[in-house]
Amino acid sequence: MNGTSASQDDCCAPVASRDVSLKLAALSHPVRIEILARVAGLGPCCCKDVVACLDLAQSTVSQHLKILVDAGLLSYAPDRQRSRYEIDRATMAELSAQVARFADACCRLPNPKA
């Protein structure tokens, strides 16, 4: 060790703040959270499947899907004349872990300096 406590090391450890913030920004819209929940329940699906679950225009759903894909929360694969969307479960699990670590670090009481 370099003379710092373990909790001090934790608070000073690098955080993937840009990556996390981009994913959280994508989740900042309630429609996108609803879309993720629907896709999680449907499994791999196309835009029209999501549109059928929501009271939104296809173009609006497509825009939200693109943001979720760009953030890495959904995967996209062309399937003939349609596009297939699926939850990127590994990315979602990692985001969950990152947010949990961040929340834990923020809630932990600091160690008084000796």
Name the residue among 28, 20, 30 with its Cα closest to residue 92.
Answer: 20
Q: How many CB atoms lie within 10 A of CB 68?
A: 24
Structural domain includes residue 10 = no
pLDDT by residue (tens digit) across 61-90?
999 999 999 999 999 999 888 889 999 999
Name the residue among 67, 30, 29, 36 with its Cα closest to residue 50.
Answer: 36
pTM of the predicted structure, to 2 decimals: 0.79
Which CATH number is 84's domain given? 1.10.10.10
pLDDT by residue (tens digit) across 30-67?
999 999 999 999 999 999 999 999 999 999 999 999 99
Q: How many CB atoms lie within 10 A of CB 55?
A: 5
Number of domains in the chain: 1
Range of the domain at 89: 15-107
